[in-house]
Chains A and B, each alone.
Chain A
Amino acid sequence: MSEKPEKLIDKKGIRLDGRKADELRPLKLEVGVLGNADGSAYIEHGKNKILVGVFGPRDVHPKHLSQPDRMVLKCRYHMAPFSVQERKSPAPSRREVELSKVIREALEPSVFVDLYPRAGIDVFIEVLQADGGTRCAAITAASLAIADAGIPLRDLVVGCAAGKIDDAVVLDLYDAEDKLGAADVPVAIMPNLNAVTLLQMDGILTPGEFETAVNMAVEGCKKIYAMQKEALRTKYMTVKEEAEE
């Protein structure tokens, strides 16, 4: 990144990457991409590229972590050393440990954990390329991967962020906007149940701006949710069409 540009959003409301204020980055979702995982998904959200593998339900190791009344969900968010401009140490950083926890807590309400006590689910999230908003993209992909593993869910969880750049509230910040902008509000929801599973804020917003940002993010989530469902269906529809020909 070079120096800070004068304006992140111009008078016409067009952002640095050419998007309008309430426009999402292009998305690509794919389910069942890993042969050896029980469930898997891949997401390309703008320049973000994230791969998720899910294993289980299976025995928990070490054994003392298992719970007698419910299933435990373990989550590992990891960024590849080549995922950012400057090489990132492959060891889990403070930020990655925190994000693992945040993502786990965003996914946990969607899983019927009480159905299979003593067992555990492992979710491995590998960020191959990062460009802002990886936690939301990771949640979207992880939820798909869990569904692909055949684990019973209340609803798919979908994540999307909104934020403030210059004086405008905008949807789906990318890296430069996130770093130079005023605030970032990642939101994850279960759209059919109308439930929020993740809500964070980094920066300063007025109560009014915060409300606009949350509403904007929720609208974004709903758009992504449609694509998420489509991705899950596509895997099985293609087989159906082939066979019917």
Chain B
Amino acid sequence: MKVINKMRLTVPAKSVNESFLRAIAGCFAAQADPPCDVISDVKTAVSEAVTNCIVHAYPSSSGEIVMAAKLTSDGVLYIKISDKGRGIADVRQAMEPLFTTSTSGERSGLGFTVMQQFSDGVAVRSKPGRGTSVTLKKRLISPDAEKKSDRKGR
């Protein structure tokens, strides 16, 4: 499918950038004119992926987060959020609901579960010591909705 727009952004892994990156992702998704709740879905999933980078990727040093997105002509959004941090040894375990390495009792261990709930696909690639990337897929416009708006003559 044809890519009609794309973007790429690098920010330091600071928690203040959680709201910044999800706002950018929401604005980028809005170009396809999806329903409001679909934009909220995108923002929620991006927020989880970015938070994971900030909480886990760089425990002892500073580092960067890259968010790259593309929008295809059939209304599908792909957002890849990656870091060059410590990586995840066991991705399957990390994605299990309620699994967390945090001992504070303040992290729910539901980041990947929320990403899965609010996206149409979550792909995780990670290499210990090299970094992690999470690719979120979200269908912004359902094919039916497109037909309906055609009929309305918009």
| Chains A and B belong together in one complex | no
